């Protein structure tokens, strides 16, 4: 089963387009987690157990672990999902981008070391920088397109000929780059008009949508702009709004409630 198939099965099984970002910050963890020998894994395991029937994917951000020398806890988290919830794909949010043998090593890191189902990548260096990832035909490659941050417009919105750069990138992703049909694109919830344009360009390619919750993206606008003809095609990510729903010992139960409410809100507009 390839990544796209696994993702769509999870969406159908859990009736969910929700992805939960597993981005722990040691300063924000509940005290009982901080006292653990593996605080990030303790935190993540409880969140996963509480939300696994409500999500279509998990997305750990590698920098939250690497900054603290906690890569072993990231690996433990992914192994835990793969062993206990094998139907739920894991997107490693690493935003890698390089060329040649370095890109090959980054692909090995994501898909062989961490055993992720998909990885986020930066396309600024062009198609050859993406090839080592795309060559893993059963894995997903999630390409930055129109990001949710305000500064994304500095380059992504530049007009190149008759259209914006991010739309030219979307066309490449939908055609010459997508030989294995394993590409997804990142388009922020904070840009629903641009999201609609990307959907028009790429057809049924799935879109990973950050920016819901803490960044202020509007759920209804995202669904209206981004759903494909089957009522799928979106992976809507929320991190802080779910994992930090409660700072205390009841954090997992609070995260479940927040995930349930967001999952159901998303579904109300499908």
Q: How far apart are CA 152 and CA 69, in angstroms?
A: 29
> Which pLDDT band holds residue 211 (cuts at 50, 70, 90)?
confident
pLDDT at 222: 95
pTM for the predicted model, two decimal places: 0.96
pLDDT at 213: 64
Active-site hit among 13, 95, 105, 139: 95
Q: What φ, ψ does residue 186 adopt, rounded to 5°? A: -90, 120
> Which pLDDT band holds residue 99 (cuts at 50, 70, 90)?
very high
For the stretch 136-183, pLDDT in tens is 999 999 999 999 888 988 999 999 999 999 999 999 999 999 999 999
Q: Cβ distance 246 to 25 under 8 Å?
A: no
Give the CATH fold of the 3-268 domain.
TIM Barrel (3.20.20)
- Catalytic residue flag (residue 95): yes
What residues does 96 pair with on adjacent strands?
A: 121
Examine the pLDDT at 214 and tell me if it is beyond 70: no
**Terminal-to-terminal C-alpha distance of the chain:** 26
Among the residues of 35-159, which ranges form H helices?
39-51, 62-66, 71-84, 100-108, 127-134, 153-156
């Amino acid at each position: 089963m390839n990544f796209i198939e696994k993702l769509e099965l999870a969406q159908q099984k859990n009736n969910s387009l929700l992805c939960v970002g597993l981005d722990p910050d040691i300063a924000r963890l509940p005290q009982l987690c901080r006292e653990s020998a593996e605080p990030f894994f303790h935190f993540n395991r409880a969140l996963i157990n509480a939300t696994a029937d409500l999500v279509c994917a998990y997305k750990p951000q590698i920098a939250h672990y690497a900054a603290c020398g906690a890569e072993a806890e990231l690996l433990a988290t992914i192994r835990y999902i793969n062993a206990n919830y094998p139907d739920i794909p894991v997107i490693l949010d690493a935003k890698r981008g390089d060329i040649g043998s370095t890109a090959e090593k980054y692909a090995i890191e994501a898909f062989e070391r961490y055993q992720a189902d998909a990885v986020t990548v930066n396309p600024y260096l062009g198609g050859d920088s993406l090839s080592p990832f795309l060559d893993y035909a059963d894995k997903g490659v999630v390409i930055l397109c129109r990001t949710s941050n305000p500064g994304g417009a500095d380059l992504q919105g530049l007009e190149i000929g008759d259209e914006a750069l991010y739309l030219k990138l979307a066309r490449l992703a939908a055609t010459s780059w997508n030989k294995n049909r394993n590409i997804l694109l990142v388009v922020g919830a904070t840009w629903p008009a641009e999201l609609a344009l990307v959907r028009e360009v790429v057809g049924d390619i799935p879109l990973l949508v950050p920016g819901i919750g803490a960044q202020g993206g509007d759920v209804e606008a995202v669904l209206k702009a981004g759903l494909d003809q089957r009522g799928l095609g979106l992976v809507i990510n929320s991190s802080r709004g779910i994992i930090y729903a409660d700072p205390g010992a009841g954090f997992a139960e609070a995260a479940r409630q927040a995930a349930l409410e967001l999952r159901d809100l998303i579904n109300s507009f499908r």
